[in-house]
Amino acid sequence: MRSGPGPAAADTWWLPRAVVALRVRIFEKVNGDRAVTLPDARHGPEVFERVYAHPAAGGRSAGAGLSDLFWYWLAPGPEVHQEHLEPGARYEDVAATTRRLLAGSSTALAATAGRTIARVLEELPRDRISLVRLRDLVMPAWAEFCYELVFKEPCPPRARELITAHADDVVSALKCTSLRHPRRRAALTAYLRERIAAGDVPDPLPSSLTPLEQVHYLQGTFFNTAVVQLSEATAHVLLALARHPHVQHRLAAAPDDERYLAHVLDETMRLYPLFGIAHRITTDAIPLDEDTTLPAGTVVCFSYPAYHATGYDRPGAFDPDRWTDRSRKHVHHIPFGMAANRPCPAWRLSPLVLGAAVREVLGRFRLDSTASHTRSIPHRAPCLLIPRGLPGRPRRLAALRTAVRARDAVEDVTRGVRQLVLGTVMVLHARRQRAATRYFEEHPAGRCPVARPEGDNG
């Protein structure tokens, strides 16, 4: 099967790349001259690992121009989002709460995930083929799942709607396919505020946060990041299966083959890591090579796709079998981040629940897609779901595929233009708002203790 853009898209393949290139240029410009991206032509995967794991690679928000952008996209409450908190007592309090909320037996977590995914699948017709966007299809299920993690009770439809609208708004703005809708986000804030005030969250929330900050913490970490990451990861693995029928067939034929399922997930996250770039702000000097030292205050961007492409044969190919003889410990593979530097707290939970979701889908449907598979899937993964047991109608399927391919090609162009325009509008707006810069001016104690960017004597 093809891996590049389809024939109808051949003339426009450059547009999505132009969007990505513009984003990279904007990020570089916003960062200024103190930014370094690893690995690069001179510094390979060993330098990437050493710098990422270095104790001085610890600053998260203060001192990086990029933070104004991320805080804009993540509002409300980016200052208490776990990912963006500087190290210190508040961070420890928040991280411990997240660990508690994510704890649970593997069997129970997988069962909850299977149940919430089954519910969205049961809403699809069984007597005909459905055309869906995989990310949109699964997001309400992960909204329910995350609600259950936090509230320990079944998710009411109103909460599912609010969480889905919020998570979708954040991820669409981040990908520049839509502007932000602060009112949608505020509706979830109001709902959570009421529920927390009523004492409906059974686990203790971080005591170092004010009541409103506790609301923002749950909203940002559980009802944005967790929902978005699980939805994007599910969309990636299902799209990869749709694009690689032999892998899909093998997995569907042996749904209990845990090992092969793990290989499929590993290969999906190697090729399509959810983080394109994770960044840190250095809090002290870090030697880069014999001639260069990164001074404190440098923004170091760690490129996951570039690191995941090192040390593999045909790194651009989707090949789950490459994992058969490899131990994950000895390869360049960090889908959940660097163990020594704030890795993902959901590294255990995520593969478990993704596996359960994939099994539910493959048990009911065969997947077919002609959509291009890129790391950022701004198209939200269009896919045909063919109910198992439906009598084969090859001509009908071929006609549908042609129609969908033509539609996707047109959409790729219009979306590309949209991303360029909306991205520019949001970058300018974020730079005017200076959310992170202003926050650290007003709360100097919130800075990482040793973070002291150039020109800052405070």
3-state helix, strand, coil in the chain (%, to 5): 60, 5, 35
Q: How far is the CB of 343 from ligand HEM (least distance, A)?
A: 6
Q: How far is the CB of 83 from ligand HEM (least distance, A)?
A: 4
Q: Closest CB to ligand HEM among 73 and 336?
A: 336
Three-state DSSP state, 36: strand
Q: How far is the CB of 394 from ligand HEM (least distance, A)?
A: 35
Q: Closest CB to ligand HEM among 134 and 344?
A: 344
Q: Closest CB to ligand HEM among 260 and 336?
A: 336
Q: What is the DSSP string of 401-444?
A: HHHHHHHHHHHHHHHHHHHHHHHHHHHHHHHHH-HHHHHHHH-G
Question: Can you give the binding site for ligand HEM, defined by CB under 6 A?
Answer: 82-83, 95, 98, 221-222, 225-226, 229-230, 233, 269, 274-275, 278, 335-337, 342-346, 350
Q: Closest CB to ligand HEM among 159 and 233?
A: 233
- 138 neighbors 231 (Cβ within 8 angstroms): yes
b/e sequence 264-297, b meaning 16+ C-beta within 10 Å: bbbbbbbbbbbbbbbbbbbbbebebeeeeebebb
Number of Cβ within 10 Å of residue 449's Cβ equals 12
Amino acid at 377: I
Q: How far is the CB of 408 from ligand HEM (least distance, A)?
A: 25
Sheet of 35-38: strand order equals 35-38, 299-303, 277-281
State the DSSP code for 224. I
Radius of gyration of the chain (CA): 22
Q: Closest CB to ligand HEM among 100 and 429?
A: 100
Q: How far is the CB of 119 from ligand HEM (least distance, A)?
A: 19
Q: Closest CB to ligand HEM among 150 and 176?
A: 150
Quote the tokens at residue 237: 């693995």
d(CA 325, CA 156): 45
Q: How far is the CB of 258 from ligand HEM (least distance, A)?
A: 17
Q: How far is the CB of 148 from ligand HEM (least distance, A)?
A: 13
Quote the tokens at residue 79: 């200052």
Residues contacting 49, CB < 8 A, separation 6+? 338
Q: Closest CB to ligand HEM among 337 and 416?
A: 337
